[in-house]
Amino acid sequence: MFGYLQKLQISISLYLFLCISANAQTKVNIEGTVRDINNVPLPKVSVLLNKSQTAFTDENGHYIFSNLPEGAEYTIRFTHTGFEPLQQKVKGNRLDVTLVPASSQLQTVEITGRTEKGYKNTASFIGTKTATPLKDVPQSISYVTKELMQDQASVRMGDVVKNFSGVNQFTFYDDITIRGFRINGGSTTQLLNGLRTFTGFWKQPMVNYLERVEVIKGPASALFGNASPGGTINRVTKKPLEEARKSLSFTMGSFNNTRVLADFTGPLNDEKTILYRLNIGYENTESFRDLQFDKNLVIAPSVSFLPTEKTRINFDAVYNKSNSRLDRGQSVLYKGDLYSTPISRSLNATNDYLNEETYTVTASLNHQFSSQLAFNLAYLRTGYTEDLLEHRSANAYAVDSAGTPIPNLVARQSFIRKKNPSSDNASAYLTYSMQTGKISHKLVGGYDYATSKLPPGASQLTASNYQLKAGGSAAYNPAKAANYVFYNYTTPDGKVISIPKPNVSSFDITKNDNKLEDPSKYTYVVQNSAVLPSFSSISGIYLQDQIGIGNLKLLLGGRFETYTDRPNYRTDSVKKVTQHTFLPRLGVVYSINRNINVYGMYTKGYNPQDAAVQTNPLSGGPFDPITSQLWEGGLKTEWFNGNITANAAVYRIVQTNTLYNANEPGNPDKMIQIGEETSKGVELDVTGRITANWDLTLAYAFNDATISQSGKSDSALVGKQKPNAPKHQGNIWTKYTVPSGPAKGLGVGAGANFVTERNVSLNTAQTLPGYVLVNAAVYYQVNKVRLQVNFNNVTNKTYWVGGYDYIRLFPGAPRSWQATISYTF
């Protein structure tokens, strides 16, 4: 028995030994080193083995997985902040890899296209000049993506801005208010791909070539130089993609609207080191407004060259040719109501014209010296030409012999103008990321220089006022009535009266009085103040640090700015006026948890007064420069696994020394300077995808923008709401697409936007009523073909988007529709 037990013990021991030996022979280690493109080891890289085991690289970039079964297949995924993720299969027992900086790190100005789809956008460059998640930017940034623009059939900027909280149209033109402060495309305070530019002001640019439109709220002066305290608009153009995509679309609709769009992108070589994109748009449309039309051609090519993993070069161009008439708005009866004339009535002559050409050319370079250090260089040239003949109101009603306004006659004037302003913007800066213990830093330091120039050769002829017996024209003076030419006029009630004869015929707004006019019969004066040669420049040195300490992120920045104007440019009496200022920017973001960030911001703004106004002897200047301050705080949150963002902001903006037109009869150039304006309010923005087939965007803003100190103006203005700045404004838009079944591909969209009552000027009681507009759409996607019909202003609401006064009102379009068919291949 003992011998049997001894043999059994030996057998078990031998079996265990063989098992251990066999097991030892089937266990292996897999290890390697992770480096960046400069062969520098990367610590703290997350290394995931077969989606089950996780390790992190040490300070030497080394990782190891131990005691793995031999002969099995292994796949490792490497992820690290600021680098493209990498996944590879393991061959043998060692895998060394090189991580490439993420495309967002390689392009501080965007060079390759955004790959996200839908209404939500995750990161932006406008807030910090680096690729930063929007939730980590301590300032409110609103945006509209190309997908939302497509679903709403947006054609122009006015169609886009209704989606932003706190943003409202001021006129028909490229002219809006942000948080109660006006900006327009005619000044170089707008941005294109983060660089200063301008548009022609009179016509809103088409949006077919844009990836998205962004608004950074509050003064952005610390990064981009002088800007509106309400905010700055940044238009981001579509960039080339590494995958081939082509699309064509054709649209027709109300007001004889026809539009054709094309978008082509992809690689130009097998290595995908040269990428291209070409957007083309053509539009031919009439309007609900009498005599108005638009013919637009947009050509927007873009090429990206990626010679190495470290270097990216991009060229962008946008050319826009526009033929139209300039619409100065609707006039109503003197002391009458808004509904006394049709919203279709314009004061144009049938031979008026506005021909414009605008071009922008951008070249940008990014070089990644290391995973920490990058250099960015960009240059933007903007050019514009204008050729104009117009008949418009003289901002007054025609008068009788006693100088009393005639209720149905609007006095007119005529302009003939040619000009070709331009601007240049060059920007160079370095970004550097570093770690000091547990504190991370993302440093930005740079210099930019921008000029705005109107060269000699521009001219404007103005015909206005009343005819004199001795020849020429002058403003009417009843005390010297014997000096003027009179004619008999029959009033609407049949009474014949003698009234002074205008230089340019007056317009009877009770009837369609548009006709061919003969400008050769007018007496013109050269209006030099409008087109004198001008030159101004802005340069700035700035430094910014984004500091990360655990859940806390700080933004510390400052800019030293130099402004230079050259009054009497290109004349013997040219002067050089230089101003300097320092603009701080302080922000903080704290992550309460993975879904909620709370932030706060303080920044300052500075704007010198326009040189043309300062040097105009009729303006009442010189005027002090404009200064502003912003205090803002809020929440930035993400829900449903990051698919929905919900942000809230509370702010207070104070601006001093703003200029407003004095509306002084006989002197349209006279300005008044307000002592202080205060804008305070609350904004809410919700954007994203509720389910895979249900998209939503929602915005609301309460804005109390008033004159808080009168300064050199009438003290009665204190407490008055600023022009075209509604207290309440908001919108909602949602789209749902059927994912399966017989109705698969069918989608519906619906939304509304509202604006409350607004003032149209400071020194009158003229107001515009609030309104609610309802819009809808139907979509059907079948394979590569998409059918879409949009219905705007479904209830046919009569409303006005803005205005200067009751002679210059800007009504919105009545009920309309657009049908689009697009093909993607």
Q: What is the DSSP letter of 723?
A: B
Please give the C-alpha separations between residue 47 and each of 52, 79, 550, 596, in angstroms, as whole numbers: 10, 7, 22, 27
Decide: 650 and 635 in contact? Cβ < 8 Å: no
Q: Provide the pLDDT for residue 22.
A: 47
**According to the model, what pLDDT value does residue 615 have?**
64
Query: For position 13, what pLDDT does the model report?
Result: 56
The predicted structure's pLDDT at residue 183? 86
**CA count, 13 A, side-chain hemisphere, 658:** 26
Instruction: Give the span between the Cα atoms of 134 and 649, in whole angstroms.
Output: 14
Q: Name all domains of the chain by residue range, CATH numbers in brackets.
A: 2-98 (2.60.40.1120), 234-462+525-824 (2.40.170.20)
The pLDDT, as a whole number, for residue 666 is: 64
pLDDT (0 to 100) of residue 757: 96
Peptide bond into 622 cis (omega under 30): yes
Determine the pLDDT at residue 23: 47
Which residues are paired to 446 by β-bridges?
429, 542
Sorted by sequence, the CB contacts under 8 Å of residue 453 that are 6+ apart come out as 421, 422, 423, 534, 535, 536
Helices (H) and strands (E) in the chain, counts: 6, 53
Residues of the chain with pLDDT under 70: 1-25, 37-39, 81-82, 101-116, 188, 529, 611-612, 614-617, 663-666, 668, 763-764
Q: What is the DSSP string of 577-608?
A: EEEEEEEEEEEEEEESSSSEEEEEEEEEEEEP
Beta bridge partners of 382: 360, 423
CA distances from 118 to 161, 264, 687, 699 (A): 18, 19, 10, 17
The residue whose two tokens read 């205060």 is: 678
Structure pTM?
A: 0.85
b vs e for 608-629, b when ≥16 Cβ sit within 10 Å of the residue's Cβ? bbbbbbbbbeebbbebeebbbb
Residue type, 507: F
Output the pLDDT for position 752: 98
Contact predicate 580/626, CB 8 Å? no
Q: Return left, alpha or beta for 663; rule: phi > 0 is left, psi -120 to 50 is alpha, else beta.
A: left
Q: Token pair for residue 612? A: 């043309």
pLDDT tens-digit profile of 404-418?
999 999 999 999 999
Single out the residue of 685, 593, 696 nearest to residue 648, CA to CA: 685
Tell me the residue length of the chain: 825
CA–CA distance from 223 to each of 600, 627, 740 (Å)? 17, 16, 48
- Report which DSSP code applies to 668: T
3-state secondary structure of 324: strand
- Please tell me the predicted confidence (pLDDT) of residue 107: 47
- Read off the tokens for 368: 């990644």
Please state, in angstroms and rounded to a whole number, the distance separating the CA atoms of residues 167 and 486.
48
330, 180, 340: which is closest to 758 by C-alpha?
180
